[in-house]
Amino acid sequence: MHGYELKRSLDALLPRAQAVNVGQVYTALGKLEKDGDVEAEFVPNGEHSDRRVYTITDRGRGRLEQWLMLPVQRGDLRDEVFLKLALVRRTRTDAVHSVLTVQRTETLQQIQNLTLLAQRVPADQLETELLLQGVILHLEADLHWLDLWEDRMESGGPKR
């Protein structure tokens, strides 16, 4: 593919609002080319600008294969909401509940937005549908987690 084509391909995977910045595609392709993972060649395009069409190299194919089969490490312990809650608990114990409520409201809002979005995804876009489902599952986990905080704050909480 050429750069712009790739951008469109990526956009098609994501809901309308989340379009990719084109510049990023070109910087990424530049890096891949420098590393020898892809090769490019100009292909005339009639009236339009010529296209730089990229082809994956053997090296690139190998690295792609490796990347695909390498599991993603997902259990990151750095979490902004956690930081806020831990901090607020130590300095203004009484405000923990507010932070929890604000965050819960936001999360519910997000879930609603994404649910609406999911309903508008064409039935043939299986992947996009699954992506949204995944994000929603995470947000629901967040809600459970906020409830856990709330429970723990009540017992052994504000007075101490």
Q: How many CB atoms lie within 10 A of CB 4?
A: 15
Query: Which residues in 34-90 belong to E strands, given as ranges?
Result: 38-43, 51-56
2 touching DNA, by CB under 7 A: yes
The one-character DSSP state at 120 is T
CA distance 155 to 160: 10
CA distance 141 to 108: 11
Q: Which does 110 bind (CB under 5 to 8 A by kind): a copy of itself, DNA, none?
A: a copy of itself
Q: Which does 106 bind (CB under 5 to 8 A by kind): DNA, a copy of itself, none?
A: a copy of itself
Q: Which is nearer to a copy of itself, 70 or 120 (CB)?
A: 70
Would you say how long the chain is, in residues? 160
78 touching DNA, by CB under 7 A: yes
Q: CB 66 → DNA: shortest distance, Å?
A: 14
Q: Which does 4 bind (CB under 5 to 8 A by kind): DNA, a copy of itself, none?
A: DNA
Give the distance, in angstroms, between the CA of residue 160 and the centroid of all CA atoms in the same chain.
Answer: 39
From the list 9, 18, 23, 115, which residue makes contact with DNA (rule: CB under 7 A)?
A: 23
* Tokens representing residue 59 in the block: 């090296």
Q: Which is nearer to DNA, 8 or 104 (CB)?
A: 8
CA distance 151 to 100: 11
**Cβ pair 2, 53 in contact under 8 A:** yes
2 touching a copy of itself, by CB under 8 A: no
77-136 binders of a copy of itself (CB under 8 A): 77, 79-82, 84-89, 95, 98-99, 102-103, 105-107, 110-111, 113-114, 126-127, 130-136
Query: For binding to DNA (CB under 7 A), which residues are involved?
Result: 2-5, 8, 21-24, 26-30, 45, 47-53, 78
